[in-house]
């Protein structure tokens, strides 16, 4: 049956459901270049305003998966489980979490992405390690899962290619915030990845894509439903991203912090989220092992070192360091009332840790290291943060942004827990 893009745009504009054949035609047509970008943009904007029914979303996501190939992980002898974060500031969790869960007896095929704007990318962080390779291919991924139990690498070009095309369009048409489109984008890639179970870390707050709890809960429920409908055991944790997670924001700086966690230290909030996600992942994988014990006794660190070596990296190699370091100090005594995650993320981006467009390079040593946390008492002249950059002009803009990020007042309450909600498919 022949379809016309204008008919789909009008139907969705007027609040009508799209049929399964219409959706499959559109996804295939835009991926292959048969639907014009301006027509696809109009349909995406109509979806942003009108939403999608559960039936439409199931078909849309399945069509995105069907635009490419699916990984077959059936030869991996361990239960497979992955995690996905919706993105935040200082979110270094994956680096410690994947080897931790592997050390407990599950296989973690973590296909990750690159950073854009104020949110960091796991692949950029790992490439700060000397020699680390993120392009493994399907055969290399499976071989590493069988040997090491964990791999963090780039998704292949044929994994949900429709999502790659549509995301690029959403990024420049103001349609990124649509919950159905966010959910289908994330879940099409994760379902195509072939993992048997998945835990979602849905960030909510000033530094997250979703800033209010109600919308974050809706996104979590939508994604869990898509996973369960596709036969993937799925759960979600909602975690706070008003303040940055941990102290380090920047690629090499975050690797250093992840290693501290694997050594049994690191910031308490990073450990909290890491262990909470690990417990959810192991439960879905059917593995009854104490993740906290594996972190304390060195098993997770051993697995990290094996993973890094397997991907060509040197776990003992020096991490990149930016040549310019500046300190941000407070001019008054008091307490840290707030640290704005968005402003810290923007500061790190302006220092060179992030990119404005996908093809831009990043500075692996650039970023911010916070020396205080919300609720801390501070003295006049105390260092609030260190800023790392390669170029003086970047340092100037980074300092100006960081001056807005940390608010010192007369008194402050200690921060609350990072894990603030849970959604399951039960």
> Any idea which residues carry the catalytic annotation?
84, 163, 170, 185, 189
Contact 260, 225 (CB under 8 A): no
Q: How do 383-389 and 334-339 pair as beta strands?
A: unpaired
Question: What is the distance in angstroms between the CA of the first residue and the CA of the last residue of the chain?
Answer: 39
- Report the alpha-carbon distance of residue 121 to residue 138 in Å, rounded: 21
- Report the alpha-carbon distance of residue 12 to residue 257 in Å, rounded: 47
CA angle 234, 242, 426 (to 5 degrees): 20
* DSSP state string for 279-332: HHHHHHHT----HHHHHHSSHHHHHHHHHHHHTT--TTSPPP--SEEEEEE-SS
Contacts of 330 (CB under 8 A, 6+ apart): 378, 380, 381, 382, 384, 406, 408
Q: Which two tokens stand for residue 330?
A: 């407070």
Contact 341, 407 (CB under 8 A): no
- Report the alpha-carbon distance of residue 401 to residue 245 in Å, rounded: 18
Contacts of 116 (CB under 8 A, 6+ apart): 171, 354, 355, 357, 358
Bridge partners, 248 (sequence order): 369
- Report the alpha-carbon distance of residue 398 to residue 368 in Å, rounded: 9
Alpha-carbon torsion 194, 115, 264, 283, what sign? negative
- Report the alpha-carbon distance of residue 292 to residue 276 in Å, rounded: 10
């Amino acid at each position: 049956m022949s379809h016309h893009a204008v008919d789909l745009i009008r139907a969705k504009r007027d609040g009508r459901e799209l049929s399964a054949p219409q959706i499959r035609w559109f996804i295939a047509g835009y991926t292959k270049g048969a639907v014009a970008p301006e027509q696809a943009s109009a349909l995406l904007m109509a979806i942003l305003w009108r939403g999608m029914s559960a039936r439409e979303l199931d078909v849309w996501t399945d069509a995105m998966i069907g635009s490419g190939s699916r990984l077959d992980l059936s030869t991996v002898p361990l239960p497979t489980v992955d995690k996905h974060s919706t993105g935040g500031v200082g979110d270094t969790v994956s680096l410690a979490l994947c080897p931790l869960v592997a050390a407990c007896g599950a296989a973690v095929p973590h296909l990750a992405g690159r950073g854009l704007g104020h949110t960091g990318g796991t692949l950029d962080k790992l490439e700060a390690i000397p020699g680390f390779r993120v392009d493994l291919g399907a055969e290399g991924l499976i071989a590493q899962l069988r040997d090491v139990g964990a791999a963090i690498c780039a998704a292949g070009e044929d994994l949900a290619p429709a999502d790659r095309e549509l995301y690029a369009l959403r990024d420049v048409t103001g349609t990124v915030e649509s919950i159905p489109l966010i959910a289908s984008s994330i879940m099409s890639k994760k379902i195509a990845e072939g993992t048997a179970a998945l835990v979602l870390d849905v960030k909510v707050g000033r530094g997250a894509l979703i800033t209010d709890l109600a919308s974050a809960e809706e996104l979590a429920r939508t994604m869990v439903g898509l996973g369960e409908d596709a036969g993937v055991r799925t759960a979600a944790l909602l975690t706070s991203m008003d303040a940055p997670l941990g102290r380090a924001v920047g690629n090499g700086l975050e690797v250093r912090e992840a290693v501290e966690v694997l050594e049994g230290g690191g910031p308490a909030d990073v450990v909290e989220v890491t262990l909470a996600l690990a417990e959810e992942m192991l439960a879905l994988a059917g593995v009854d092992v104490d993740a906290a014990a594996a972190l304390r006794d060195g098993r997770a660190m051993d697995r990290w070192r094996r993973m890094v070596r397997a991907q060509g990296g040197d776990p003992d190699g020096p991490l990149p360091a930016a040549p310019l370091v500046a300190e941000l100090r407070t001019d008054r005594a008091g307490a840290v009332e707030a640290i704005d995650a968005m402003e810290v993320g923007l500061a790190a981006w302006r220092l060179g840790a992030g990119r404005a467009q996908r093809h831009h390079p990043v500075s692996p040593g650039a970023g911010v290291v916070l020396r205080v946390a919300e609720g801390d008492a501070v003295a006049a002249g105390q260092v609030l943060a260190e800023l790392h950059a390669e170029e003086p002009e970047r340092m100037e803009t980074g300092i100006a942004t960081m001056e807005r990020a940390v608010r010192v007042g007369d008194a402050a309450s200690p921060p609350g827990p990072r894990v603030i909600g849970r959604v399951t498919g039960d």
